[in-house]
Amino acid sequence: MNQIAQHLLQVKERIVQAARRVGRGAEYIQLLAVSKTKPLEDIQAAYAAGQRRFGESYAQEAAAKIDTLRAQADCADIEWHFIGPLQSNKSRLVAERFDWVQSVDRDKLIERLNSQRPAGLAPLNVCLQINISGESSKSGTSEQEIFRLAALVARSERLVLRGLMAIPEHTSDEAVLAAQMRRMQALFTELAQQYPSVDTLSMGMTEDLEPAIAHGSTMVRVGTAIFGARDYS
């Protein structure tokens, strides 16, 4: 068994244990392997170990990976999630290739993704990103804008509203982290009551997947614990 396969097993066991502690079934929590900056070989190794959902953050880098894998007819059933900040001028790269976009946070992006999604593909699954910590360094819309943006997505023919995504504050203060996650859980519950298609709360990464699962996350986005530290050089 290669190292990536071992790491995947370890992360899945963390998910099982975290879910068990709060009386949840691990089968209701999806693992998104964050492969940004990682080579195709790492994606292929994770795929061979059974992983099917992958997250990317850089549109051009991701488009090249997806095109290469599809040209090789390799890893054909990967579900691709775009999870990084998305500039409007890169939206077509994402609309034409990805299955999900989790970082939608403004009207213009909704309109562009809807108009650029090819008719031959299934509608694009959308999560709205909330800047739940209010940090200026993070992308995402405000809590006050969520329901207006949700209505815009719901009216878009080529998009499907699936839920919310957030990156809570990176802090050692457990009370601060828990408060932000509780707020996300409440917003998700309210949104799901209004829209039957909403089923995804994307929250939790390598460092905080356990508290995220305790606060209702249905999808954790894990990169470092699977692939190792990222090389941004």
Q: In this structure, which long-range contacts are made by residues 184-192, counting pairs with CB atoms below 8 Å and at least 24 apart in sequence?
A: 184/130, 184/132, 184/215, 184/216, 185/215, 185/216, 187/130, 187/143, 187/146, 188/163, 188/164, 188/216, 189/216, 191/146, 191/147, 191/150, 191/163, 191/164, 192/163
At position 229, the amino acid (one-letter code) is A
According to the model, what pLDDT value does residue 10 have? 98
To the nearest whole percent, how much of the chain has pLDDT over 70? 99
Query: How many Å apart are CA 82 and CA 90, to the nearest integer?
Result: 12
Question: What are the Cα distances from residue 219, in Å, to 69, 209, 215?
Answer: 24, 9, 12
Terminal Cα distance for the chain, rounded: 29
Written as one string, the DSSP assignment of 92-148 is: HHHHTT-SEEEEE-SHHHHHHHHHHS-TTSPPEEEEEEE-TT--TTS--B-GGGHHH
Query: 3-state secondary structure string, 7-23?
Result: HHHHHHHHHHHHHHHCC
- Write down the pTM of the prediction: 0.96
Report the mean per-residue pLDDT for the chain.
96
pLDDT tens sequence across 140-182: 999 999 999 999 999 999 999 999 999 999 999 999 999 999 9
* CB contact at 8 A, 16 and 25: no
Q: Which residues pair with 53 in a beta bridge?
A: 79
Classify domain 3-227 at the CATH superfamily level: Alanine racemase (3.20.20.10)
* CB contact at 8 A, 145 and 189: no
pLDDT tens sequence across 49-59: 999 999 999 99
Q: Is the pLDDT of residue 233 over 60?
A: no
CA atoms within 13 A on the CB side of 46: 28
pLDDT tens sequence across 68-122: 998 887 788 999 999 999 999 999 999 999 999 999 999 999 999 999 999 999 9
Q: Where are the domains of the chain?
A: 3-227
